[in-house]
Every structure is written in structure tokens, then in C-alpha cells.
Structure 1
């Protein structure tokens, strides 16, 4: 159990730090390139830049993590193991209807108490990869658009040397396009769900026992 908790903490930390510091790197690069283009070099102590980088990356990571926008995507919402439990409950006579939130709660109960720990590692890993890749995709899109706009607008404002901004934008566009083209994050997330559902199917007796136990608990709570 301790190992599982440690792994979960590690993966959740990665979900905060990797997108956050990717955002921070792109921000500082864009600011510096813009400053060079307008011939207004940023002269600040290195220790201050390091401080800004550390704080910006951490705050950006926490903000992206808290938004949980990656969980609203189709690839995350579809074919969840909790949906399998809902369908399973409907197929068993005399069992009450299960709401989505309750199905998720029941699935996490099964995950934490019955699915082997070695399986948790795979679930955490691919879940983390999914969230990180989607955040990188979205951040890349924002910065590629912003960089392109600046590279086009600054020459019109009298600052013709925008080669650095153009190179930056092209590089970030490539990161975005590779991410979208191969789309491994979505595919792996769905494979992750299928593996979990397969485990539930192969442990059908256990699942039915837990569903019936839930029904009995609900019945005992009624006045």
C-alpha cells in the first residue's frame, strides 16, 4: 500500500511540474525573443531569472492541474471502467440503478482494495502521460499562435528582425503537430481503460458480489 501511495504521489507531482515548467520555458523564451526583436534587452540578475522561472513553473503547473480540463475530453470520458459497472448493475435483476458518481466511487473502491498493486502502476503511468501530453499540446498551441502573431505584428510596428520569433513559433508548431498527428495520449488512455475493464470482466464473481453488497447496504440504510 505504501508503494502504491508513493507511486501515486510521484505521478501526480509529474502532472504538476512537467506542464508547469514547459509553460515557464516557453514563456521566458517568448519574452526574451520579443525583447530582442524590439531591441529592449532584459537585464536582470541571473538569480532573479531563476526565481521567476521556479515560481512561474510551479504556479502554472498548479493552475493547469487544478483546471482539470483534460478530464473533460472525449478520450477521457468515453469507456471508463465506471461505465462498465453501471452497465453491469443494470444487467443484474433487483439491483438499484447506479449513478455515475456512485459508479466511480465503487470503481475506486475496487481499484484500491482488489486490483493488484502492479496494475496500479500502469494505470497511474498512462493516466499521467495522457494528462501531460494533452497539457503540452494545448500549451504549444497557445504559444505557437502567440509567437506567430508577434512575428507578424512586430515588423509592421517597425521591428523587422523577427527571425527569432519565427523560429520559435515554427518549433512550437512542430511540437503541437507531432502531438496531434500521432495522438498517442488518447489511444493509450483508451487502452488503459480497456485493460481495466478486462480485469473486471475476468473477475466477474467479485464484481457481482460487490454490486450485491452495495445493494444490501443501500437496503439496510432505508428507514
Structure 2
């Protein structure tokens, strides 16, 4: 089930009939049948596919809770964190598991995992569901590791390439005499904006 879900997520495709069958297969398994990799990749897949199914998500969260935080490898902990953020998971137990898992392995995470954790931190701060349910320890963890996660989230030189539409918009703004900055980094979240037009729209 986990491998099939992950395959659909990698293709960004979610056939309704197949997803229904996978849902039934998932809920039909005992909770202890899932290892840490399977539950982490499955939750991430549901998030990528934007599956809005509280029962399915809740089942996988309960399966995740069947493993101690220290048993999750760095990529798995990062996937859990990102999935909780993307799915707006409000389970206090689940978020405590995520924070404790991150605390045990965040120092061993690669750039991709740190980027996922950055988005989890943002959700704990700005998503009302997560901010109410997240344990107090997330703030301490962000204080210790947040800068590293934010740095990993920002694009490296050459990673971003302007689309033809973006170039057309830039040319139009230039012809209008507007001031703008391409690929501007939003200071609060770290997200890159295709174009940030100056206040007033004119130079």
C-alpha cells in the first residue's frame, strides 16, 4: 500500500478508484503492520495528493504513534513533520511524536529534510490548528535549529529559472516603468516570490 501510494504521489496523480481501494486496504491492516518508513511515506503521499480524509489520516497517525520517536530515521521524521503541516493535523499526541522525533535526529538531516522541517515550523507558528496542538517543545527546537532549516529552504543560486510567462510579465512591468524584484525572498516565511512589485508600482 505504501509503495503504491508513494508512486501515485511521485506522479502527482490520484485516481479516485485506486485511492478508494488503497484506503480500504490501509484501514483493513492492523496498526502494528506498519513500519516507520511505510507510515511516513504514506502520510506524505496523502499530503502530496491533497487527500481530505480524516479517518485515513487518523489511522496512519495512530500507526505512527505505535513507534517510539527515536525509531524514526531523519528522512522519516522530516516526512512526518511536513505531512502534519500539509494535512493540518491537530492531534497533540502526533505532534508531540513529531517534535520528539525531530529532536533526536534533526542534526543528521540533509537539505531536503531540513526544508520540510522549516515548513513544519511555519505551520506551528501560523496554522491555528497546529499552533494550538503543538507541544511547547517545538518552539525551543525551532530556536535551536530554525535558522539552519530556513537557510536550507532558500533556493541556491541557479536553482530558480524564470518561466516564459514570468519573463513576459517582467517585460510588461518594465515597459510600464514599474519597479520590481524578481525571485524576491519573503522575509517571514522564506518563500521565493516570482516577482515583488515596489510600493506604488512605479519607480
TM-score relative to the length of structure 1: 0.21
Q: When you count helix as a share of all residues, which structure comes out higher?
A: 1
Larger Rg: 1
* Structure with larger RCO (C-alpha < 8 A, sep 6+): 1
Higher strand content, 1 or 2: 2
* TM-score, normalisation: structure 2: 0.23
